[in-house]
Amino acid sequence: MIVTDELSVLADLVPLAGQDIIELGCGAARLARQLLDRYHDAQVTGLEVDARQHAKNLAAPRERLRFVAAGAEAIPFPDASFDLALMLKSLHHVPMASMARALGEVARVLRPGGHLYSSEPVYAGALNEIVRLFNDEGTVRAAAQAALDEALRTGAWEQVAERRFEMPVSYRDFADFEQRMMRPTFADHRIDDAKLAEVRAEFEPHCGPDGARFTRPMLVRLLRRRD
């Protein structure tokens, strides 16, 4: 199933109206901004560890959206502060040794019965085959799923839903792909000329008159904090 709007998936699974939401690793908070446009009585707190992205977020304020420089391993809010936590392609970016602690922190700041919506890319597909040439995330993505499994075994959570879908991803050309994927602000992939040429050779066969189009397989797991 192709999904162009992940907010629709989220809205099918949990109530969003009137909710107090925290997003861990919010990036540019694109989905959060869409959510607030649609649900005028919700509010979102976005946590981000990338200082450059956090500065950009602070420079683009909006009502009911606040930004905090912090990571999921140490959430700077009291117990039972939120109704819903979002981790959108962010759990696998938490250091593997800290994933269990991060999920424990999420459980702590959620109210009883609150939900964790974890959306993670699946390690498969044509785009993944290109990206793994310079950023192989097979190990960390598997660790993210294992951390969720382990969190369930603690008894603090129950899993209430799972969804699989594919999201379209497009790039104007290789320069667009290089800027967005190979040289992000939050990581140094140590791209030298040889690696750039290798990745370009794998990417360019996917290019057409309207750029390069892929689909990214996604796995959503919805966990509920036990009462």
Q: What is the pLDDT of residues 175-223, one digit of tens each?
A: 999 999 999 878 889 999 999 999 999 999 999 999 999 999 999 999 9
Complete DSSP assignment for 116-173 = EEEEEE-S-SHHHHHHTTT---HHHHHHHHHHHHHHHHTTSEEEEEEEEEEEEEEESS
Tally of residues, the chain: 227
Single-letter amino acid, residue 140: V
Name all domains of the chain by residue range, CATH numbers in brackets: 6-124+136-168+217-225 (3.40.50.150)
Closest of 95, 84, 16, 3 to residue 49, by C-alpha:
95
Token pair recorded at residue 45: 């707190």
The pLDDT of residue 185: 79
By the 10 Å C-beta count (0-12 exposed, 13-18 middle, 19+ buried), 117 is classed as buried
Q: Do strands 110-121 and 211-225 pair parallel, antiparallel, or not at all (unpaired)? A: antiparallel
In the block, tokens 């190979």 appear at 182
Q: Model's pTM, two decimal places?
A: 0.95
CA distance 223 to 115: 6
The pLDDT value recorded for residue 19 is: 98
Residue 43, pLDDT score: 98
Low-confidence ranges of the chain (pLDDT < 50): none
